[in-house]
Amino acid sequence: MGSGAPTFECSAGCVVMTANRVRTLALIVVAGALLAVWAFPVLWALLTSFKTERDVLAYPPSLIFEPTLSNYRDVLFGSASILPNLVSSTIVAGASTLLTLLFAVPAAYALARLALPGKRASGFYVLATQMLPPVGLIIPYYLVLQKIGALDTYAGLVVIYLTFSLPFAIWLMVSYFEDVPREMEEAALLDRAGRWRALWFVILPQVRGGIAVTTIFVFLNAWNEFLFAVVLGGNRVRPVTVAMFNFISVEQTLWAKLAAGAMLAMAPVILLGLIAQRHIVKGLTVGAVKGGGRT
Amino acid sequence: MTSTLEERERRFALLLFLPALIALVVTTTAPLVYLAWTSAMRIDLSMPWLSGFAGLDNYAHMGADPRFWHSLWLTLIYTASTVVLQVVLGLALALLVLRIPRGQAAMRIAAILPIVLAPVVVGLFWRTLVLSPDVGLVDVVTRALGLGSHNWLGDPQLALISVIAIHTWQWTPFAFLVILASLSALPPDVFEAARVDRANAWQRFRHITLPLIRPAVVIVVIMRTMIALSAFAAIFAATGGGPGTSTEILNLYAYRTSFSELNLGYGAALAMVLLAITLVVSFVMFRVRRAR
């Protein structure tokens, strides 16, 4: 493959125009095939969620079948309903997102704009905590929560989700605070507005969009979390990522119900991902871009 | 008492930053200290009467534990192969998509799909709908092509390849999107100049495009390495580390030791090794990056 720009190789009097068009077509076909590779498992699961368990096992797999909503009915209201798990996920992800923003927004403002003592060291510390592998933390969490009787509680899981969401949210918010023009806060301070008032009435409205994007990503990560939930949760606190295993046992796999359950569990994050799609590159790389550049 | 403006700003900054700092110390640093302490203990929940201080016994035990060395080896294979595959495929795809006149938006949306899915759900998708013998998508394709049916997650060698494929499938879009964003931001005139100089496609890529997007590629390599080192949920869902120990990277081994075999002391020691590896790798990578 060549460089990024479109190519025009008109060496012999531009008779290659049609050849070029063929090449473009070929490119689109290849790109389309790769697109299919990413979209297909999800679309396949979507299709499967409307099949009966018997249709799922047909060979060759049938594209034409009588669609049924019974899987969704079972998964939502049947004996193995994941409705409580969806509620559980919503509580855990919602509460931990709120808590994260409460800590992260002020801290990010201090890191981005104020004469914070030990600023570089603090920034580096936040970055380093983002690198920690969750498996390294799960053992102490388990032992401590067991000791204080907080296994299988919302409070325990919500606080612990700060480990991965807080460093991420701080760095993402720092990048938004840095975009606020300095003159704005200086003007506000000259008006003797006081620092709290300046932050609340002048700075925060400027980063509303950043807060929205941060909220989406933090919620998404918390919703998708599995390791902490499976070890520290239990019967009361059982997020939907853990509940997915209900459909798989040694004896049998309930394919269609698994697919329907997964669709319900993933619908919120797919929606959020699409809403925030233009910010996703920033959200994915924020720690590394910042941390490597300035420390 | 009067204080200067600067002093007041410092105090205000501390007031804003301290709550987050305390929260981070409590949820990350304190547990790590406790982890280090646990790794020097014998805590076997299946034989609680044997619990007690063990010094460095857990670490000494590792040296003669073939399962540990095996998991370390698998971690290396898994991390190296997934990162290389993601970067190469992501880069190739970004270069390709940049050249198609229309449909880039559709590609971006398709790329977001795997990224936002929970790894555990991805693992379950692949285990059932994609890789299961007879009815899985891949098996249907290989059967149709006359390559026969395979037990993709049940055969030790295929299982390792399968979990690498799962990770690569889910995260190549990350490399693709980041590199595509970087490519799209390049000024078109650099390529024009090179074309005037009669540089061929490979030369243009090697000497112009690649150096210009190197920062993005380095970011992808660093971030994907860190994530691969902490990979857990997708493998857990797809194979659980099995069959046997054939997909048991260090993460899975530490988890199984702690929560299946209930030997938390040894599990903590394994987690300490994982942590040390992560620290060393991230330190080296940021060093290399800053040196440029």
For chain B, the structural domain boundaries read 66-291
ipTM: 0.90
* pLDDT above 60 (res A2): no
Question: Can you give the length of chain B in residues?
Answer: 292
Q: Quick count: other Cβ atoms within 10 Å of Cβ A231?
A: 20
What residues does each domain of chain A span?
17-74, 77-294
Q: Decide if pLDDT at A5 tops 50.
A: no
- Angle, helices A255-275 vs A208-224, to 10°: value is 160
**Distance, CA of A167 to chain centre:** 14
Q: How far is B166 from chain A (nearest CA, A)?
A: 11
The structural architecture, per CATH, of the domain A77-294 is: Orthogonal Bundle (1.10)
Separation CA A205–CA A280 (nearest Å): 22
Q: Which neighbouring-strand residues pair with A253?
A: A248
Better-scored residue on pLDDT, B203 or A209: A209
pLDDT tier for residue A4 given thresholds of 50, 70 and 90: very low
Sign of the Cα torsion A56, A58, A59, A63 reads: negative
Q: Given pLDDT bands bounded at 50, 70 and 90, which one contains residue B82?
A: very high
Q: What is the gyration radius of the CA atoms in chain A, in angstroms? A: 25
B116 against B137, higher pLDDT:
B116
Is the per-residue pLDDT at B211 higher than 80? yes
Q: Which of the four pLDDT bands, split at 50, 70 and 90, describes residue A251?
A: low
Closest residue of A to B35, CA-based? Answer: A140
Chain B segment 161-220 residues within 8 A of A by beta carbon are 169, 173-174, 177-178, 181, 183-184, 186, 188, 191-192, 194, 201-202, 204-205, 208-209, 219
pTM of the model: 0.89
Structure tokens at B202: 């490979």
- DSSP code at position B248: -
User: Strand, helix or coil at B16?
Assistant: helix
Question: For B221, which residue in chain A has the nearest alpha carbon?
Answer: A288
- Candidates B256, B62, B252, B89; CA nearest to B163 is B252
Which residue would you say has higher pLDDT here, A14 or B280? B280
Do residues A106 and A168 make contact, with C-beta atoms less than 8 angstroms apart? no
Listed residue (B50, B28, B120, B258) closest to A142, CA to CA: B258
- ∠ at Cα A81 (A75, A87), nearest 5°? 110
Inter-chain touch A114–B27, beta carbons under 8 Å: no
Indicate the pLDDT class of residue A287, thresholds 50, 70 and 90. Answer: low
pLDDT value of residue A17: 57
Please provide the distance, in angstroms rounded to a whole number, between the alpha carbons at the two ends of chain A: 36
Looking at 2.60.40.420, 1.10.10.60, 3.30.70.20, 1.10.3720.10, the CATH number of the domain B66-291 comes to 1.10.3720.10
DSSP summary character for residue B43: -
User: Over pLDDT 90: what percentage of chain B?
Assistant: 46
pLDDT value, residue A131:
82
pLDDT of residue A3: 43
- The string of pLDDT tens digits covering residues A36-71 is 888 888 888 898 899 888 888 776 676 777 888 888
Q: Does B136 touch chain A (CB under 8 A)?
A: no
Chain B 10-69, residues with CB within 8 Å of chain A CB atoms: 10, 12-14, 16-17, 19-21, 23-24, 27-29, 31-32, 34-35, 38, 43
As a dihedral over the C-alpha atoms of residue B213, residue B217, residue B222, residue B225, rounded to 10 degrees, the angle is 180
Residue B113: list chain A partners with CB under 8 A.
38-39, 42, 270, 273
Q: How far is CA B131 from CA A226, B144, B162, B166, in A?
A: 22, 15, 8, 10
Rounded Cα gap, residues B71 and B267, in angstroms: 13
In angstroms, the CA A260 to CA A247 distance is 10
Distance between CA A102 and CA A81 in Å, rounded? 33
Q: Which residue of A has its CA nearest to B262?
A: A139
Cross-chain residue pair B222–A255, CB shorter than 8 Å = no
Q: Does residue B190 carry a pLDDT above 80?
A: no
The 8-class DSSP code of residue A100 comes to H
DSSP one-letter code for B292: -
Residues sharing a CB contact under 8 Å with residue A15, sequence separation 6 or more, in sequence order: none
